[in-house]
Amino acid sequence: MKLRSGLDVLAFRFLKYLLFVFLIYSNFSYGQFELQNAFPNITFNNPLFLTNSGDGTNRIFVVEQNGIVKVYPNSSATINVKTFLNITDRVASGGEMGLLGLVFHPDYENNGYFYVNYTATNPRRTIISRYQVTNNPDSADKNTELILLTFNQPFGNHNGGWIGFGPNDGYLYIGTGDGGSSGDPQNNGQSIITFLGKILRIDIDNQDPGLEYAIPVDNPFSDSTGSVVKEIYAWGMRNPWRNSFDPVTGWLWSADVGQYQWEEIDIVENGKNYGWRCYEGTHSYNSSGCNYPEYIDPVWEYSHSLGCSITGGYVYRGPTIPELTGKYIYADYCLSTIWSLEYDGITPPDNQTLLTATGSVTSFGVDEQSELYIVSFNGNIYKFNPGSACLNVELSTGWNLVSVPFLNNNMSGTNIFSNSSSEVFGFDNGYFIADTLVNGNGYWVKYNNSQPLQICGERISFPIEVSAGWNLIGPFDKQVAVENISSNPPDIIISPFFGYDSGYSIVDTLILGKGYWVKTSANGIIQINEELR
Ligand SMILES: [Ca+2]
Ligand SMILES: [Ca+2]
């Protein structure tokens, strides 16, 4: 153990000159992500969707375009896949047609009902229907079909296809395309007398006269007469290719495929007009007849310099990639780019490129734990590899208080903090040169020039060991608010947490890549509250 006077001066300054300013952490962000084949022993034929039955059985259901639903246990070791439903005899498949959507009733465990959205011919049309499982939980009865809703498709493309239940209202939502061709020649998106170009909403637990469902009373046109479509929830859609509800916010996210220039993401609200064909994204497309008072802009759009057809995903709520939590994950079908979009309706959206997937991304899906999967048209199902996380750290000129929140192959200070102008110093009742870096500890390292650094390694989860007195700690394996930190024994934390960025300040959040000072009254551990783990 070797004491360094310069650093001791820093430690004393830390006690004498506390700056009560919160740090700005914009110089820390996550870097590259990797996908892994989630189920390496099985493949699918033209898979278009993945979901779960929400009944506690932890099974995965994969939709194949030609009209088959496969089921299997949610394990990477799965070898055998069963056919849950085969309705290839009634599905018209190919191009943008096929079995496009699947959702299980919120009370599936008790009633065995699930719902599909598919295209058929003679006439070419979309069918929304209900089926029921048999006594064998891995096999549905195709003879139980109850057709809820059907509407004709003037062209083979733009059939939407997503169906899902609202987490708060229990209603069935249906995404429909504008009917097809290009430029919406029938102006279906802006017409309220057609099912096409819409987000529809129906109540499948009740029945209105003459219908297999009820119209929710707060649908925008529920009181209309004549040929106005009472099932409309929102309109002005072109071809919403994958929607999802975020169970935390209740928001309905829709990825609406654009024409030739702009792909867009919408937050869909009751009674709103999302613009097509008057607008493609935020850009005027065909202004003929466009006199509606309010067209809702997308929350995000990208041009065809970055892709050609959006595939909507989910707000990440899974357990394995904490830094994606709360971010909307989506892709471009043509270039296979996967992005994250952080959007809260208040601060400016933050869009980040995560990686390029293998094969064309046809859809995303989630399991019963809300883990996210990527469905590729190459027949494989992928998920994020939790062991390959990387962190981009911007090191400042001068002293940096840092940590390594991953388990790296070579945890030496000279390996991870190469190009530093100092040794890497740890603190344990005094400073020492840290030859081997330890997760949970904070370190000082000096640089002559500010520079970016990427730290990669295996994600870890740990409590942080502390000794009575001042401790230089590294953060947990995910960003955590100080209010969510506890100790064992309880209440041994007797100081605020101090970060350093040209000077000390009390922090309210511990972020990855940074080190922090904290004083404890006894030896013990500090940890993230169990319920947040
Ligand atoms: Ca169509
Ligand atoms: Ca739009």
Provide the domain count of the chain: 2
- 35 in any annotated domain: no
User: Which ligand is closest in space to the CA of residue 176?
Assistant: 1
Question: How far, in Å, is the centroid of ligand 1 from the Cα of 209?
Answer: 28
Residue 240 maps to a domain: yes
Q: Is residue 36 part of a domain?
A: no
For residue 221, the CA-to-ligand 1 centroid distance in Å is: 24
Per-residue tokens: 459? 């994600």
Residues 321 and 466 in one domain: no
Last residue of a domain, one of 353, 384, 415: 384
Least Cα distance to 504 among 520, 484, 518, 493 occurs for: 518
In Å, how far from its chain's centre is CA 529? 24
How many CB atoms neighbour CB 12 within 10 A? 10
* Contacts of residue 452, Cβ cutoff 8 Å, sequence gap at least 6: 392, 393, 394, 395
Domain that holds residue 209: 42-384
Establish how many alpha carbons lie within 13 A of residue 22's alpha carbon, considering only the half-sphere containing its beta carbon.
10
Q: Which ligand is nearest to the CA of 285?
A: 2
Cα of 452 to ligand 1 centre, how many Å? 49
Alpha-carbon separation of residue 368 from 56, 64, 73, 77, 318 (angstroms): 7, 20, 11, 17, 9
Asked if residue 409 and residue 373 are part of one domain, the reply reads no
Q: What is the DSSP string of 293-326?
A: S-BPPPSEEEETTS-S-EEEEEE---SS-GGGTT
Domain presence at residue 85: yes
| Tens digit of pLDDT at every position of the chain (533 positions) | 333 444 444 444 444 443 333 333 333 445 568 899 999 999 999 999 999 999 999 999 999 999 999 999 999 999 999 999 999 999 999 999 999 999 999 999 999 999 999 999 999 999 999 999 999 999 999 999 999 999 999 999 999 999 999 999 999 999 999 999 999 999 999 999 999 999 999 999 999 999 999 999 999 999 999 999 999 999 999 999 999 999 999 999 999 999 999 999 999 999 999 999 999 999 999 999 999 999 999 999 999 999 999 999 999 999 888 889 999 999 999 999 999 999 999 999 999 999 999 999 999 999 999 999 999 999 999 999 876 677 888 899 999 999 998 888 788 988 899 889 999 999 999 999 999 999 999 999 999 999 988 888 887 777 999 999 999 999 887 788 999 999 999 999 999 999 999 899 999 999 889 999 999 999 999 999 865 54
- Does one domain contain both 490 and 431? yes
254 and 135 in a common domain: yes
Is the pTM of the predicted complex or chain greater than 0.85?
no
Helix or strand or coil: residue 497? strand
d(CA 234, CA 375): 27
Residues 291 and 440 in one domain: no
Report yes or no on 394 lying in a domain.
yes
Which secondary-structure segment (H or E) carries 384? strand 381-384
Q: Tell whether 167 is covered by a domain.
A: yes
Give the residue from 384, 418, 451 where a domain finishes: 384
Residue linked to tokens 């046809």: 362
Helix (H) or strand (E) holding 109: helix 108-111
**Statement to judge: residues 364 and 428 lie in one domain:** no
* CA of 159 relative to ligand 2 center, distance in Å: 16
Same domain, 348 and 465: no
Cα–Cα dist 305/261, whole Å: 8
Q: How far is the CA of 96 from the centre of ligand 2 (A)?
A: 20
What is the C-alpha radius of gyration for the chain, rounded to an integer number of angstroms? 27
- In CATH, what number is assigned to the domain containing residue 175? 2.120.10.30
Same domain, 102 and 25: no
| Residue 166 included in any domain | yes
Considering 334, 364, 384, which residue would you say is the last residue of a domain?
A: 384
Do 117 and 245 fall into the same domain?
Answer: yes
Based on the domain organization, do 13 and 102 belong to the same domain?
Answer: no
CA geometry: angle 189, 192, 198, nearest 5 deg: 45
Residue 330 CA to ligand 1 center (angstroms) comes to 23
CA distance 77 to 29: 33
Do 71 and 56 lie in one domain? The reply is yes
Beta bridge partners of 300: 265
Q: Indicate whether 128 belongs to any domain.
A: yes
Give the bridge partners for 337, in sequence order.
356
| CA of residue 380 to ligand 1 center, whole Å | 27
Nearest to 3 by CA among 499, 423, 514: 423
Is there a single domain that holds both residue 351 and residue 435?
A: no
